[in-house]
Amino acid sequence: MSILVLGLGRTGVSLAKYFYSQGEQVWGVDDSSPKQNQNPDWKAYTHQLFLGGELPHLKSIDRFFISPGVDPKHSLVQQALKQGLKIEGELDLAYELMCKKTAATLIAITGTNGKSTTTSLIGEMLKNAGLKTGVGGNLGTPFLDLVLDEQNFEYFVVEVSSFQLESIQRFHPKLALLLNITEDHLDRYESFSDYQLAKGKIFSFQTAEDFAIYNDDDLHVLELLQNIQAKKVPCSTTKKVAGAYTDEKEFFWAPAGKLLSRFDLAQRRLMGLHNLENIGAAIAVCKTLDIADEPIQQTIDQYAGLPHRIEHVAKIKGRDYYDDSKATNVGALAMSLASFEDPIVLIVGGKDKGGDFKSLAPLMRAKVELLLVLGEAKQRIMHELKDVVPMQVVADMQEAVTFAYQHQGEARAVLLSPACSSFDMFENYAQRGEVFKKYVRDLE
């Protein structure tokens, strides 16, 4: 059998490696230039490799797999559809193999913001409960690799993106969690509604035996719940619900309106409103699974979060520096700004994803003393936020950090929270965050 894998990022390599190990003929296709330093796995796990716009004939292809980073409008995808090939993704394959191999419980998490932190948080709660848990998906280790791991996990906690959900045809999590939906990836989707529907596909194949866990405070999430079959489990940070809710001092677990558990938030290390939502969602997932209260409370008290999510870097001359490079859309920046009380110096910009920067104006006026703008999106950001706050264009991250350091205002913090993707200047958001941290530490 001949298998074509379009897009040779982490997920594409995982697909190629699996089919190569099964003795299939693997054709790898990636738009990267042949002159660039390529991943050695590309050649190790493919029989034929097509790079830099070189495209194969599809007549001898039996199965066509697309990586989540590849736009479905890609010319090879359109050609495959015309020839009657089904476009497949990694989630369905991994799910199918999981069902054959194990009776493990699958938990899937999506949302515009907070899904990586929540995925990791749920994983820690389950591990602290003594359960063999594989954590990954869009967060890191591909779901396929977790399924093939010899550890024989009891639970899979998998972050899934809208890009991954686009191609699902049978992916069926026992528990599906939808955290929130705000404008993002509008450079890929025709409309916000298309993006919203892609997120909602996480519930598509659930039955009445499954659980749909959701943020009851998000209207865009609520719009997707009308026709789902799974049992609905709400969580909220603003009101009492028949699920998980908070008074900001404690979280309460009250399925069907009956209070069963309480969790103290006094020692929590994940700060900010957005992380309050993440904690509530994680509690809802774990209590739906009947996890004991003690390991959940232990995790709330101990878990400090992932890198590049409002990560404290240093305190220099009385001013705190925070790396929030993971904030790659306008909604994420809004949640981050809401976490600060005192005025800040804010660094934004990068590759434009089509978000509405004008919607940030009230928060900017309330929270931002100086806005430093960089990257491809700088002109649009400046246009949409002109006369809102003082702004300064900077050439790169080093100049941004230096300018923030030299700023003589009252701001008590400097926050990198770009509201854009990183691909204009960096390989990914993690590299962007590491570069920011390096320049900050150079100030010490």
* DSSP 8-state secondary structure symbol assigned to residue 132: -
H runs (alpha helix) in 192-340: 192-200, 219-222, 273-288, 293-302, 330-337
Phi first, then psi: what are they for 303, rounded to 5°? -75, 120
CATH of 91-302, one of 3.40.1190.10, 1.10.10.60, 3.40.30.10, 3.20.20.70: 3.40.1190.10
pTM: 0.92
State pLDDT tens for residues 243-255. 999 999 999 999 9
Contacts of 209 (CB under 8 A, 6+ apart): none
Confidence (pLDDT) at 85: 97
Q: Which two tokens stand for residue 176?
A: 């599906």
Give domain limits for the chain: 2-88, 91-302, 311-441
Q: To 10 degrees, the CA torsion angle through 220, 165, 418, 430?
A: 150
Q: How far apart are CA 52 and CA 279, in angstroms?
A: 43
H runs (alpha helix) in 83-212: 90-101, 115-128, 143-148, 162-165, 192-200
Judged against a pLDDT cut of 80, whether residue 208 lies above it is answered with yes
Judged against a pLDDT cut of 70, whether residue 332 lies above it is answered with yes
Q: How far apart are CA 23 and CA 11, in angstroms?
A: 19
- The CATH T-level fold of domain 311-441 is Protein-Tyrosine Phosphatase; Chain A (3.90.190)
For residues 373 and 393, the answer to whether their CB atoms sit within 8 Å is yes
Superfamily of domain 2-88: NAD(P)-binding Rossmann-like Domain (3.40.50.720)
Confidence (pLDDT) at 272: 82
What DSSP letter does each residue of 364-385 carry, written as one string? HHHHEEEEEE-STTHHHHHHHT
Single out the residue of 259, 102, 284, 85 nearest to residue 178, CA to CA.
284
Judged against a pLDDT cut of 90, whether residue 26 lies above it is answered with yes
Confidence (pLDDT) at 37: 60
Q: Which residues pair with 320 in a beta bridge?
A: 315, 413
Confidence (pLDDT) at 33: 79
Whether the domain at 2-88 and the domain at 91-302 fall into the same CATH topology: no
Rounded to an integer, the average pLDDT of 34-41 is 78
For residues 66 and 75, the answer to whether their CB atoms sit within 8 Å is no
In this prediction, what percent of the chain has a pLDDT beyond 90?
Answer: 93
Q: How far apart are CA 50 and CA 33, in angstroms?
A: 10
Q: How far apart are CA 384 and CA 27, in angstroms?
A: 45
Q: How far apart are CA 134 and CA 215, in angstroms?
A: 24
State pLDDT tens for residues 76-135. 999 999 999 999 999 999 999 999 999 999 999 999 999 999 999 999 999 999 999 999
In this structure, the strands spanning 25-30 and 261-264 are: unpaired
State pLDDT tens for residues 261-275. 999 999 999 988 889
Angular region, 374: left φ>0, alpha ψ -120 to 50, beta rest: beta
Q: Which residues pair with 284 in a beta bridge?
A: none
Rounded to an integer, the average pLDDT of 62-80 is 96
Residue type, 333: L
Q: Which two tokens stand for residue 98?
A: 């999981």
Which residue is it, tokens 């991943």? Answer: 39
Phi first, then psi: what are they for 380, rounded to 5°? -70, -40
Q: In what helix (H) or strand (E) does residue 431 lie, and over which residues does it extend? A: helix 429-441
Q: How far apart are CA 80 and CA 338, in angstroms?
A: 46
Q: How far apart are CA 180 and CA 142, in angstroms?
A: 23
- The 3-state DSSP class for residue 339 equals coil
